[in-house]
Structure 1
């Protein structure tokens, strides 16, 4: 397993991290021994970064992790989160996580799911989330304060430049890399560790392997290998979080971490160019379409629309509501001025796509 230094923390983290939100269940019932065995297997194969959160897997993920930690012999680091804005509520969540996982401290505690700059500011007020996390750090309950975000690159740059955090977790993959690339660069310059989630685009990349086959290099057996290799080869990225729901998936992902061929900067740029040229219908997230006069988050809707092109229309609405945290009905504010389409480097029919999303809100349940 390849390891990378997590920012300025002095910690060496496995390039493949364990995402703890994919444990298998039957009717929302979890076999703790079986699920814990998946975690233990990952540790045996070199994974040392385990990411979980309250609410994951019907609120069972932290409990499963605790069950696994009892059997893990190798050193490991734990990441968990709170999305509470109120400091007292965050403190309660932190204490509950510590108790459930039988830990003295959380290595990487995330101010969770920052959606935009206003949301970020609301976590930083007196008596708010960050102040509570800072106090907990002083008490030794938190080792490193980090954040997770769905912000765009400019917003991430603003956050990291205010020097409040030691690392971040962010969604980053071959489908959306232009949307957040500026933020990754800023984090790297500031010495933050970076964990990336959703390296497989929420499963879209392996589900549409034929469509994305063009990303494979000569050393990549599958598009999954290529997508994970793409993330891991970035100097800015410390660990690639992979959701693992079976020992077979653990073995597959850890093989990638064992045999990773780190791509040179020139090769990464070649792949990025290939992506721009090949994804003629998919939004690449370049964000030139932003600054809508009606303040519609055009790029976020277009990235969500990608799911429709790849065969899962319902996922468009889910992505809008739960990933971006914006309202589907806001597309109705479009006045069809055409500014976004004039700026779009791919010449996508943005206005008609917004109309489709509005129509789906009425028909898809």
Structure 2
């Protein structure tokens, strides 16, 4: 297993980390614990969970497994999304009990969806409560997790409250998040990436993503993981596992790992645009919109419609859980055409906004 320093925390993390959101049988503690222990045996030392994951059983699953391991042999993280300080404290104390530890190594101010949400976390006491818990030794290091675009995340990081960041980053959406990763690297923060396989879209469209493969990655799953880890600022990649074979495949992806060169990186970016000329790459040149529609967010959601062969529920979930936007705002388009004139890919933006679903049954 390849390990990297996690920012300036003094912790070394496995480049593949175990994400606790994918247990298919959350009620089966023994089966899932066995999977966690197997991952640890293979060198994975960073385990990530959160309240509500897997029918609100994920933290208990990890607690069941991690109690069987020496405390110094693993790093565990969990999260709190409450804006009020008292509520965050209750969540933290419950997580400590569930996980069976005296300290959460990495605790995330979780699910920052927009700048106002971030302001609320500060004003209503969540950040203060987390920092107090850190002083008490209940939290080792304070981090944040966000689905905002890269520029907005970068602004949060510049406040220098956090020691690391968790964000979605993959071969499909990296243009949306690149600025945040670069900012984190400049500040020497730890960077955890989630959703490295694009929610399964990359392996489901393996032929289209064949250009990711290299001499050291002969399948798109390995190639997608290597794509993430080739960014010098990225510390570790979160992967959810359903069986031992998936763990073996992920671990193999970083065996004898060599980062792709800048030339290869540019080749990937070029191929991405060629292979998916109909996908929005998130450059943002379409903005500003005269009626304040966040066009890149909606077109990223439209990407889901293309890659899932029209799965409207996937698009609706993307609105809500990835971008925190409503379906209705896309329909406020006044068809002025300014965005289409500026689009470097010449995409039919007006048409796509009109085609975005309002509900799954449309």
Q: Which runs of 5+ in 1 are unaligned?
A: none
CA distance in 2 between counterparts of 1:146 and 1:258 reads 28
CA distance in 2 between counterparts of 1:80 and 1:276 reads 36
Mean Cα deviation higher: 93-102 or 300-309: 300-309
TM-score by length of 2: 0.96
Q: Who is 1:341 aligned against?
A: 340
Secondary structure at the aligned position of 1:90 is classed as: helix
Spell out the pairing of 1:271-286 with structure 2 (5 A cutoff).
271-286=268-283
**Corresponding position: 1:37 with 2:39:** no
Which residue, out of 183, 187, 196, partners 1:190? Answer: 187
Q: Who is 1:71 aligned against?
A: 68
Which residue, out of 198, 201, 207, partners 1:210? Answer: 207
Q: Who is 2:322 aligned against?
A: 323
| C-alpha deviation, 1:362, in angstroms | 4.5
Spell out the pairing of 1:1-365 with structure 2 (5 A cutoff).
1-25=1-25, 30-73=27-70, 75-125=73-123, 127-310=124-307, 311=309, 312-357=311-356, 360-362=357-359, 364=361
Give per-residue Cα distances to partners, 1:64-115, cap 9 Å, x unaligned.
0011102234711011101100110000000000011111011110000111
Is the CA contact 2:157–2:183 (under 8 Å) kept in the aligned structure 1? yes
Mean Cα deviation higher: 326-335 or 250-259: 250-259
Distance change (3 Å), C-alpha of 1:237 and 1:363: closer
Secondary structure at the aligned position of 1:113 is classed as: strand
Give per-residue Cα distances to partners, 1:180-219, cap 9 Å, x unaligned.
1011101110111000000000011011111211222232
Mean Cα deviation higher: 285-294 or 48-57: 285-294
| C-alpha deviation, 1:304, in angstroms | 1.1
CA distance in 1 between counterparts of 2:171 and 2:318 reads 17
Q: Which runs of 5+ in 2 are unaligned?
A: none
Mean Cα deviation higher: 301-310 or 104-113: 301-310
| C-alpha deviation, 1:261, in angstroms | 2.4
TM-score by length of 1: 0.95
CA distance in 2 between counterparts of 1:32 and 1:261 reads 36
CA distance in 1 between counterparts of 2:267 and 2:205 reads 22
CA distance in 2 between counterparts of 1:240 and 1:257 reads 11
CA distance in 2 between counterparts of 1:115 and 1:287 reads 18
CA distance in 2 between counterparts of 1:35 and 1:304 reads 32
Is the CA contact 2:316–2:359 (under 8 Å) kept in the aligned structure 1? no
Is the CA contact 2:316–2:360 (under 8 Å) kept in the aligned structure 1? no
Give per-residue Cα distances to partners, 1:262-305, cap 9 Å, x unaligned.
22233222222222232201112222223212111111111111
Secondary structure at the aligned position of 1:124 is classed as: helix
- RMSD (Å) for aligned C-alpha atoms: 1.4
Secondary structure at the aligned position of 1:67 is classed as: helix
Mean Cα deviation higher: 138-147 or 345-354: 345-354
CA distance in 1 between counterparts of 2:168 and 2:302 reads 17
Give per-residue Cα distances to partners, 1:9-62, cap 9 Å, x unaligned.
11111110111100112xxx5210000111111110011110100000010100
